[in-house]
Structure formats: structure tokens, C-alpha cells
Amino acid sequence: MDLTDEQWAVLEPLLPEEERTPPRKRGRPWKDPRQVLNAVLWILRTGAPWKDLPERYPPYQTCHRRFQRWAREGVMETILQALARDLKERGGLDVKECFIDGTFVVAKKGAMGWERPSGAKVRSSWQWRTALVFQSPYASQVLARMK
């Protein structure tokens, strides 16, 4: 399930300028950013390793390298915020029905039973993780809109 033309029209302006310019005169030409973004979204949706990327997408090394760059430069964050905004505007996102589940079970290789967390692990508890979410600038934006 790749991006539709309508979705691409929303996301294309969010990508770095150099990827929308004509190919460079030297070196390999840039792969189509739409195809790279489709590949990245496929990996994020399926959870598959990069090397299992289907052949209809550019080489996985290219997609992975571009994903790392986009993440480092904040492009992925901007894209995800734009998608969430678009979903909310269409009425498909209702934060009143959202919740955060921070439960987990500590599992160690070869462990036969449950282990009581040590004092060092207190900061990784679900309460601590939940508190960190509410300290996030994104959570404060969402909560401000709920008033």
C-alpha cells in the first residue's frame, strides 16, 4: 500500500529541497524520493528488516541511509506530525480515545521465572515512561488542543 497522489502532494513539500531538484551532474542520480518514502513506510508498517525490502522499491541500503538522514534532520518527525494533523482534520483521530500502555514484562534469555526489578530499573518503570510522555512537547500540544 503505497502513497496515493493526494498523500504525496501533502508530503512532497516536507522533503529536503535537494531531493526535488533535477539529478546532479556527477555521481549516481538520486532515487525517487516518493519511492524511498514508500519503502520507509513499508518497513515501519511491517517491522521487517531492511534487507527484506521488496524489489519494487529502491535498494534497501539507499532507503535505510535516506531514512537515517531524514530522522537525523527531523524530516520524519515533520512528516509524522503532518500525517497526524491531516488525520485529525479528516476526523480520523480522536485523542479522547487514545491511551498509553507502558506495561511490559522483563524477559532475560534463559530466565525461568519472573524477577523483581532492582532499584536501578525504577526509572524504566511504566510510571516513569508515562511521565516522560507527558513532559514531551508533542504531548503538551495535544493536551492544549483538548481544552
DSSP string covering 22-64: PPPSSSSPPPPHHHHHHHHHHHHHH---GGG--TTSSPHHHHH
75 & 108 share domain: no
Give per-residue pLDDT as tens, 38-72.
Answer: 999 999 888 899 999 999 999 999 999 999 999 99
Average pLDDT over residues 107-112: 55
Q: Kindly indicate the confidence band of residue 94, based on its pLDDT and cuts at 50, 70 and 90.
A: low
Q: Whole-angstrom Cα distance, residue 127 to residue 42?
A: 32
Tens of pLDDT, residues 20-39 = 555 556 667 778 899 999 99
Q: What is the pLDDT of residue 69?
A: 93
Q: What is the pLDDT of residues 10-21, one digit of tens each?
A: 889 999 876 555
Cα dihedral across residues 89, 92, 93, 96: positive or negative: positive
Indicate the pTM of the whole model: 0.58
Q: Are residues 63 and 101 in the same domain?
A: no
Q: Which of 44, 61, 89 is the last residue of a domain?
A: 89
Domain co-membership, 16 together with 76: yes
18 and 72 share one domain: yes
- Amino acid making up residue 67: F
Same domain for 109 and 46? no
Same domain, 84 and 100: no
pLDDT over 60 (residue 120) = no
Q: How many domains does the chain have?
A: 2
Give the model's pLDDT for residue 57: 95
Residues 109 and 80 in one domain: no
Q: Is 121 left (phi over 0), alpha (psi -120 to 50) or beta?
A: alpha
Task: List, in order, residues 6 or more apart from 33 with CB less than 8 Å away.
Answer: 12, 15, 19, 20, 66
**pLDDT at 123 > cutoff 90:** no
CA torsion sign, 101 to 103 to 108 to 111? Answer: negative
The whole-number pLDDT of residue 66 equals 93
* Residue 57 and residue 38 in contact, taking contact as beta carbons nearer than 8 Å: yes
pLDDT band at 89 (very low <50, low <70, confident <90, very high): confident
Q: What is the model's pLDDT at position 130?
A: 59
Q: Provide, rounded to the nearest whole percent, the portion of the chain with pLDDT above 70.
A: 56
